[in-house]
Amino acid sequence: MKNNIIIAGVPRAGKSTVSHLLSKKYGYQHVSMDSIIAGFEKCFPETGVSTYQGLSSMDTLRVISGKMAPFVRAMMNSGEYDEFEPGMVLDMYQLLPEDYDRYIRGANCDIAYFITSDVTPEERFLIQKKYDTEKDYTYWKSDEELREGAEYIVEQSILIREQCIRYGLPYYETAREREKSIRRFLRDFGLTDE
């Protein structure tokens, strides 16, 4: 296993849960790319990294992924986290497998995707309601907004699954058996005593 790991995928699929676990139990330094992206949106709008740019959710995902993947590679190439064993766990929503393959593959990192592609939008909405906490920005959204978001999260999950298969990248479906999928990830990455 490489020194750093990227945990990517859709909201409420378990990315932060896994990232926090890797940080607390295994000593990885947790870096939230979603927070970094929020900083880009607020402080550097000229970069075009913006969740609210009037594009469809799929186009927004593609734009941000294409802009942030080279940035992530630059972070990996800095060597800052290579001196630690283990290094960092980078928790990121907007990173498509095609952009990982194009910009990041070969860096000192592994990747795993967490998705919810095998559910209906209504089931996805219920997952959101189950796992949202007051710390999540979506917690304060109306049910109507969450239902709309559930449709595009399922759509994005399907795209991510298809691209993971195409590029040979690991993905974990967490919609139905979240804890079991997380345990499988830990086993697959040699991070469990089982």
Return the ∠ at Cα 13 (arms to 157 and 75), rounded to 5°. 85
- 51: in domain: yes
Specify the pLDDT at position 193: 56
| pLDDT tens for each residue of the chain, 194 residues long | 688 999 999 988 999 999 999 999 999 999 999 889 889 888 998 888 888 778 898 999 999 999 999 999 999 998 887 777 888 999 999 999 999 999 999 999 999 999 999 999 998 888 888 888 887 777 788 888 888 889 999 999 999 999 999 999 999 999 989 999 999 999 999 987 55
The DSSP code for 11 is T
CATH number reported for the structural domain that contains residue 115 in this entry? 3.40.50.300
Q: 52-90: per-residue pLDDT in tens?
A: 778 898 999 999 999 999 999 999 998 887 777 888 999
Residues 38 and 93 sit within 8 Å (Cβ to Cβ):
no
Q: Is residue 194 part of a domain?
A: no
Of the CA atoms within 13 Å of residue 170, those in its CB half-sphere come to: 16
Domain range spanning residue 34?
A: 4-188
Residue 193 within any structural domain of the chain: no
> pLDDT value at position 126?
87
77 domain-assigned: yes
Question: How many whole angstroms separate alpha carbon 149 and alpha carbon 15?
Answer: 18
Residue in the structure block whose two tokens are 């304060």? 140
Does this model's pTM top 0.85? My answer is: yes
Number of structural domains found in the chain: 1
**DSSP helix/strand/coil, 70:** helix
Residue 104 forms part of a structural domain: yes
Q: pLDDT value at position 147?
A: 87
CB contact at 8 A, 164 and 173: no
Residue 8, in any domain of the structure: yes
Q: Determine what percent of the chain is predicted with pLDDT higher than 90.
A: 61
pLDDT at 134: 82
